Amino acid sequence: MSNQTETAARLPTGIKRKTNKDNNIWRLIWKYKVLYLISIPSILYFIIFKYIPLGGSIIAFQEYNIFKGFGGSEWVGFAHFAEMFRHYDFLRILNNTVLIGLYDLIFAFPAPIILAILLNELRLIVFKRVVQTVVYMPHFLSWVVIAGMSVAILSPTTGVLNQLLGLFGIDPLYFLGDNSYIRTVLVGSGIWRDTGYGTILYLAALAGINPELYEAAQIDGANRWKQTLRITLPALLPTIMILFLLHIGKFLDFGFERVWVFLNALNTENGEILDTYIYRAGLLSQQYSYTTAVGLFKSIVGLVLVMAGNFFSRKTTGESLY
Amino acid sequence: MYGTISKSYKTFNAFNILFLTLLGLIMFLPFLNVIAQSFSSSAAITEGKVSFLPVDFTLINYQYVFSDASIWRAFGVSVFVTIAGTLINLVATATLAYPVSRPEYVGRRIVVLMVLITMIFSAPLIPNFLLIKNLHMMNTPWALIIPGAVSAFNFFVMHSFFKQLPPEIIDSARIDGCGELRIMMKMVLPLSKPVMASLGIFYAVGHWNAYMSALYYIDQPKWWPLQVKLKRMFETDDISIDPSASQFTDLAHTSPEGIKMATIIIATLPIIMIYPFLQRHFVKGLTLGAVKS
């Protein structure tokens, strides 16, 4: 120990400081070794279950053969990506995915904002609680259960919705067995399930608005509508922007489960999205490399969208995710 | 609070209450319809008579569901996966989030970055599938638990919670000679009960409702969770009536539709039973997560 200090003393100051710091880091790590020890399993979890599959994505550039493995399979460069854009199937499914994503953005994204503002206008607290309790509930149902309920409710012969439409003289509609309704059903079931739940963050933001702002606006003669426009919406804007960016990043990620549970032979043409296609062509038909290319394409588009959205948002509103 | 109320505001208020009542009904009536069908006879269902009240009230659908061993088996798998999975989730998330939230942890930025990256860029399905296959986890309940052990989002929620704990309490415990492990168990854990409850609920509901991972990784009925079993019942109309079970031979009183609806109710009951408890915690958990962003 004393020998080491002597050596350190003779060295130029810069190096001496470095050795000291190194020692400190190792001493610090040793002192708090328990913290490192307990964190190891979860770090390993991320490496094994998140980063190894990420590395395994190289099979998108191979003709992956399950017997030859990652090392033995032939490299084909971007062939699978090129193949993708020549596939009629792929283009049709990409078109479905983009359209469903667009409908979701236009109809499902603003719904909780409007509902939160309406709930916030309620003065009957008991009524507000009851409405909240009821509208939050569908979020906790599984997609399998929601699809099962839909089969019962939307059935053309026995469904209660078609019975209701019958009262207005409308012929029964086969909601789940018709290409022209499937996108509406997919987006609509999401609105039914998640609009109520989606209000929670907006309601929290609304609760944070200083009531004096409204009082001052009222003295200035602003009516409720003007107050909503000038005070409520601007106060919600940061929350809206953050959730909008998250939504944009997931634009192609409409979700596997919520689509798969509604698909059948009669509505796949318009209802199939990239995720269900990847499952069908990848896992069921074992086109491993090709569907990994499709999956990578999806992830990269998502990354570009979230980066671009983040950039524009920072420029225009100052809000950003990272 | 808002001074004089104008006439137009009063009309708005009336319409608002009306609209929200309608909305509440749209959210609630589907439940009522399913409950009504599950207690109705097959004749009534197929004739389209059942709306929001049972017609020809019968318990036969439930009797069938309770007598079907494969439904009970699937129920058991779901219960196991939910309990074991949630425990593993909480331990795995906390044992990463707590150390990384301490300023003493060298390299905490790298770990946080490592988790963040998985949130914005994830591997496609097939490499994940090949990993589970190579780890020999296919057709075991572990395939439903381990691959989702830590959710990146929940990690950040817990991380920001631990970060805002006052460092004084931990420092003073250290001065008193407490080891790090003791500090964690005796001081940090009791303080983090609320966040554990909130995240535990998110994880548990996720496990109970999970369908996708079982579809990917489990193809033997032995380890099917309830959601897969339910989907199968809808897909294939695979409701076989055992001819020796005399109470079901009288098929005029039961129907596949009614049985399906009864299974839906059974699969949803646990969620509905804990809903009051759930509601108290998820609002907290969600707004806690928002603090970070």
Considering only CB atoms, which chain B residues are within 8 Å of A137? 27-28, 31, 275
Does pTM surpass 0.90?
no
- Both A97 and A238 in one domain: the answer is yes
Residue A10: inside a domain: no
The total number of structural domains that make up chain A: 2
Residue A282: inside a domain: yes
Q: Hey, CA dihedral for B159, A197, B215, A145, is it positive or negative?
A: positive
B256: Cα separation from own chain's centroid: 26
Question: Contact A59/B126, CB-based, under 8 Å?
Answer: yes
Q: Which long-range contacts (CB under 8 A, 24 or more apart) does A54-59 make?
A: A54/B121, A54/B122, A54/B123, A54/B127, A55/B127, A56/B123, A56/B126, A56/B127, A56/B130, A56/B131, A57/A292, A57/A295, A57/A296, A57/B123, A57/B124, A57/B127, A59/A288, A59/A289, A59/A292, A59/B126, A59/B127, A59/B130
Q: Which residue of A has its CA nearest to B202?
A: A140
Considering only CB atoms, which chain B residues are within 8 Å of A252? none
pLDDT of residue B205: 92
- Both A66 and A101 in one domain: the answer is no
* Cβ neighbours around A228 below 10 Å, total: 16
pLDDT digits (tens, 9 = 90+) for B41-88: 777 777 777 778 888 788 888 888 888 888 899 999 999 999 999 999
Q: Could you state, in chain order, the average pLDDT of each consecutive group of 10 residues for chain A (322 residues)? A: 44 51 77 88 95 91 80 82 87 93 94 93 89 92 92 81 83 82 92 93 88 84 82 88 86 91 88 92 88 92 88 77 66
Residue A1: inside a domain: no
Q: Which phi and psi (to 5°) does residue A159 adopt?
A: -70, 145
Rg of chain A, C-alpha, whole Å = 28
The domain of A186 spans 86-316
- CA separation for the pair A43, B67 (Å, rounded): 45
Considering only CB atoms, which chain A residues are within 8 Å of B118? 46, 50-51
Considering only CB atoms, which chain A residues are within 8 Å of B120? 249, 302-303, 306
Q: Please, are residues A231 and A215 in contact by the beta-carbon 8 Å criterion?
A: no
- Both A164 and A223 in one domain: the answer is yes
Mean pLDDT over B201-230 rounds to: 92
Say how many CB pairs under 8 Å bridge A and B: 263
Nearest to B149 among A45, A153, A302 (CB): A45
Q: Cβ neighbours of residue A287 under 8 Å, at least 6 residues apart?
A: A281
For chain B, give every residue range classified as CATH 1.10.3720.10: 69-286
- Both A63 and A127 in one domain: the answer is no
pLDDT of residue B289: 59
Q: Partners of A74 in the beta sheet? A: A63
Rg of chain B, C-alpha, whole Å = 25
- Both A35 and A158 in one domain: the answer is no
pLDDT digits (tens, 9 = 90+) for B108-158: 899 999 999 998 888 999 999 999 999 999 999 999 999 999 999 999 989
Residue A30: inside a domain: yes
Angular region, B102: left φ>0, alpha ψ -120 to 50, beta rest:
beta
Residue B93: pLDDT band (50, 70, 90) is very high
- CA separation for the pair A112, A108 (Å, rounded): 8
Residue B290: pLDDT band (50, 70, 90) is low
Angle CA A80–A82–A85, to nearest 5: 110
Residue A322: inside a domain: no
Q: Where are the beta strands (DSSP E) in chain A?
A: 62-63, 74-75
ipTM of the complex: 0.88
Residue A321: inside a domain: no
Question: Contact B20/A131, CB-based, under 8 Å?
Answer: yes
- Both A33 and A91 in one domain: the answer is no
The CATH fold of domain B69-286: MetI-like fold (1.10.3720)
pLDDT digits (tens, 9 = 90+) for B218-255: 988 899 999 999 998 887 654 555 444 555 555 444 55
Q: What is the mean pLDDT of chain B?
A: 84
- CA separation for the pair B99, A40 (Å, rounded): 10
Tokens describing residue B70: 């494969």
Question: Contact B125/A282, CB-based, under 8 Å?
Answer: yes
Residue A239: inside a domain: yes
Nearest to A54 among B123, B216, B279 (CB): B123
pLDDT digits (tens, 9 = 90+) for B167-189: 888 888 888 877 888 888 888 88
Q: Please, are residues A196 and A137 in contact by the beta-carbon 8 Å criterion?
A: yes
Residue A123: inside a domain: yes
Residue matched to tokens 């798998």: B77
- CA separation for the pair A83, B124 (Å, rounded): 18
Question: Contact B20/A122, CB-based, under 8 Å?
Answer: yes
- Both A173 and A42 in one domain: the answer is no
Q: What is the DSSP string of chain B?
A: ---SPPHHHHHHHHHHHHHHHHHHHHHHHHHHHHHHHHTS-HHHHHTT--SSS-SS---HHHHHHHH-HHHHHHHHHHHHHHHHHHHHHHHHHHHHHHHHHSTT-TTHHHHHHHHHHHHH----HHHHHHHHHHTT-TTSTHHHHGGGSS-HHHHHHHHHHHHTS-HHHHHHHHHTT--HHHHIIIIIHHHTHHHHHHHHHHHHHHHHH--HHHHHH--SGGG--HHHHHHHHHHH---PPPTT-GGGT-GGG--HHHHHHHHHHHHHHHHHHHHHHHHHHHHHHHHHHHHH-
Nearest to B179 among A34, A54, A153 (CB): A34
User: Which one-letter DSSP state was computed for residue A263?
Assistant: -
- Both A173 and A260 in one domain: the answer is yes
- Both A117 and A179 in one domain: the answer is yes
- CA separation for the pair A131, A138 (Å, rounded): 12
- Both A232 and A198 in one domain: the answer is yes
Collapsing DSSP to helix, strand or coil, A67 comes out as coil
- Both A204 and A289 in one domain: the answer is yes
- Both A95 and A54 in one domain: the answer is no
- CA separation for the pair B78, A94 (Å, rounded): 34
Q: Best residue in A149, A202, A240 to probe B by mutation, most B CBs within 10 Å?
A: A149
